[in-house]
């Protein structure tokens, strides 16, 4: 936490209220980034496949989570339709996503609607994030929230963040941090509410936060308090998902990402990797041939003054090379260079993508020339224009 002597911003995340000759607390990284990083860390730790951001706003959190390899479905829900339409394109696949596809499928959907409404498309999620959401509810809506999110949606894990009002004493003239906040709770108030909700819906809850206080003010706690709720094992076993309910939300934006689960992208990557591996092995073979020629010329010259040394680059053995020492070796017949498919499939990533030689041969199809019995890739030894 940094403090600067300057006119103060009494609102943490954006709204400015000038207060002369006061200190402003600056968070590094900014507080909103710390909250998103907390959720990202949670995802990396627990590897959920289906994640929902309830009250997703400008979709910043979703834009961060779409890079998590474990996630196969991302959903955002927000009451502000215009905001969703404006920011949806931030979640679109880019050129790099097509050139280097994900391992797993990823579908992203933005829904316009209230998180207080029940929509069966939000059932069966592994994680629901409610970041700076509940403080925008009036008392009636706050009472509905647990029944919908914990009782109906019932994800395996829920993370809820909300301002810690005890920290507000460090902000000059701050009553609430945002004009739309209906309340801001102390740690005791939040924990009392969270423990009651967890007990009613068979969850456990742990408390933490982000935004550490400045030195000397540690007793106020984190600026943002966080509750991480986990569904108890017996509740998870008893949960029965009914996906035939109502579709209340309106789809505002949807997209899907290229992945290696899609046969056209998998085939493209396999062909590229085979090209690269065959080219690498051919260069290695050419260097060894030239090495032999130079050594023969050295011996034929009758040079008795020293030992033969070469300026040619020495091939460096990679971990993959070491793992493939037992695989069939490339060979040359006249001016043709052959790499056995058994050698290619021994390359770890190609083995993962293809599984067996038959599948590898199917992927290569008519894109790469094979020898007459289809057991090896066949290329010209000295003409590199074929690749």
pLDDT for 15 equals 46
pLDDT for 318 equals 65
pLDDT for 179 equals 80
pLDDT for 9 equals 45
Q: Which two tokens stand for residue 237?
A: 């076993």
**In what helix (H) or strand (E) does residue 226 lie, and over which residues does it extend?**
strand 224-231
| Burial of residue 242, with CB atoms counted within 10 A of its CB: 0-12 exposed, 13-18 middle, 19 or more buried | exposed
**Mean pLDDT, 10 residues at a time, over the chain (387 residues)?**
39 47 77 97 98 97 97 98 94 93 97 97 97 96 97 97 92 74 96 98 98 92 97 67 77 97 95 93 87 72 58 61 76 93 93 94 92 94 70
pLDDT for 19 equals 41
pLDDT for 386 equals 58
Would you call 366 helix, strand, or coil by DSSP? coil
pLDDT for 178 equals 76
Q: Which residues of 89-121 are buried (b: 16+ CB within 10 A; e: fewer)?
A: eebebeeebeeebbeeebebbbbbbbbbbbbbb
CA distance 277 to 36: 40
pLDDT for 307 equals 58
User: Which residue in this structure is represented by tokens 């680059």?
Assistant: 313
Q: Which two tokens stand for residue 53?
A: 């951001």
């Amino acid at each position: 936490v940094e403090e600067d002597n300057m006119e103060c911003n009494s609102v943490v995340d954006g709204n400015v209220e000038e207060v002369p000759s006061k200190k402003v607390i600056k968070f590094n990284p900014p507080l909103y980034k710390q909250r998103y990083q907390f959720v990202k860390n949670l995802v990396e730790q627990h590897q959920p496949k289906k994640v929902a951001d309830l009250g997703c706003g400008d979709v910043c959190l979703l834009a961060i989570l779409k890079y998590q390899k474990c996630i196969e479905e991302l959903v955002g829900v927000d009451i502000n339709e215009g905001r969703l339409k404006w920011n949806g394109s931030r979640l679109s696949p880019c050129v790099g996503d097509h050139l280097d596809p994900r391992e797993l499928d990823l579908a992203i959907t933005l829904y316009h609607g209230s998180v207080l409404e029940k929509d069966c498309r939000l059932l069966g999620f592994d994680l629901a994030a409610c970041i700076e959401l509940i403080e925008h509810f009036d008392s009636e809506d706050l009472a509905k929230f647990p029944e919908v999110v914990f009782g109906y949606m019932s994800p395996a894990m829920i993370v809820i963040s909300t301002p810690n009002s005890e920290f507000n004493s460090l902000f000059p003239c701050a009553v609430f941090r945002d004009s739309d906040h209906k309340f801001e709770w102390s740690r005791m108030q939040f924990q009392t509410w969270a423990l009651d909700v967890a007990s009613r819906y068979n969850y456990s809850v742990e408390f933490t936060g982000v935004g550490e206080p400045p030195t000397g003010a540690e007793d106020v706690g984190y600026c943002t308090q966080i509750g991480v709720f986990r569904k108890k094992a017996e509740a998870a076993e008893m949960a029965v998902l009914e996906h035939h309910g109502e579709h209340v939300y309106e789809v505002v934006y949807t997209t899907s990402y290229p992945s290696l689960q899609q046969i056209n992208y998998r085939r493209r990557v396999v062909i590229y990797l085979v090209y690269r591996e065959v080219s690498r092995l051919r260069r290695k073979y050419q260097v060894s041939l030239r090495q032999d020629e130079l050594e023969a010329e050295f011996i034929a010259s009758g040079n008795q003054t020293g030992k033969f040394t070469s300026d040619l680059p020495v091939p460096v053995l990679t971990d993959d090379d070491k793992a493939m020492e037992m695989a069939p070796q490339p060979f040359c017949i006249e001016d043709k260079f052959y790499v056995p498919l058994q050698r290619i499939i021994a390359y770890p990533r190609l083995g993962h993508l293809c599984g067996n030689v038959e599948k590898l041969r199917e992927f290569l199809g008519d894109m790469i020339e094979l020898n007459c019995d289809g057991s090896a890739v066949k290329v010209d030894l000295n003409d590199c224009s074929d690749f």
